[in-house]
Amino acid sequence: MKLSYFSYTNKGGRPNNEDSLRCQELDGRGVFVLADGLGGHQSGETASAIAVEAILAGASAAPSLDGGTLLSQLAQANRQVMEGQKEPGCEDMKTTAVVLGIETSPEDGALSDGSASSGEGRAAWAHVGDSRLYYFAGGELAAVTRDHSVTYMKYLGGEISYMDVYHDDDRASLLRVLGRPGCRPETGEAAVRPGDAFLLCSDGFWEFVYNEEMQADLLKSETPAAWVQSMLLRHIRRTPPGNDNLSVIAVFVEE
């Protein structure tokens, strides 16, 4: 198996882009990281850059890419962001983060629960905040991360519908981010096969492209770039003036 990917970021209608992303694929291992900075006065840009560099470096050097490894890298990134808060003008900087690690030929041929078999790779992901990961298996949405926001808690509590999450006034109120003690990221793992796909994106992207549309555009796309371009056509028709930064990474698992 092999990986192909495409990334895109845009400052949208904001004066600067506080999103950061990094992608690396080498010898059957891929690491993909995206962060959405918070704090204003460009300190959010600093926080997201610190986070993606720390996570990429740690994950790339790790002996394996499982959920525990990625949680450790997010914890390390959290420490570095908090250390950066000591700099003048950066006291309030924080960032979301989402990371995906894929091994197309894991040495042991299995996930930690033993669910992978010959001909399969493995994927693990972790996130904190409201930057999301979507996992599509066989063209179907198999998993999506849960936002760490007041709005998503309202949805889980039955106060609002899932579609209300895209428009609720509290969606920018985040409960977990890097830059706070005890950031408590979450993780997931799955066996992967050719035809599977992943999407990492900031809220400036997913708020304007719905799950069913992501799936529909995936099914008609032969490359990660084509998939992202189709979704951006939907995005541009919906974004208001002054819209947020938007960033996305699309990853295909191929033969």
Give percent of the chain with pLDDT exceeding 90: 87
Q: What is the pLDDT of residue 27?
A: 85
CATH of the domain at 45: 3.60.40.10
Q: Domain limits at 76?
A: 2-254
Mean pLDDT to the nearest integer, 244-253: 97
Condensed to tens digits (0 to 9), the pLDDT of residues 90-108 reads 999 999 999 999 999 755 4
- Residue 113 pLDDT greater than 60, yes or no: no
pTM flag (> 0.75): yes
Q: What is the pLDDT of residue 107?
A: 52
Q: What is the pLDDT of residue 2?
A: 93
What tokens does 19 get?
Answer: 């999103």
Q: What is the pLDDT of residue 224?
A: 98
Mean pLDDT to the nearest integer, 99-128: 71
Q: How many domains are there within the chain?
A: 1
N-terminal to C-terminal alpha carbon distance within the chain:
4
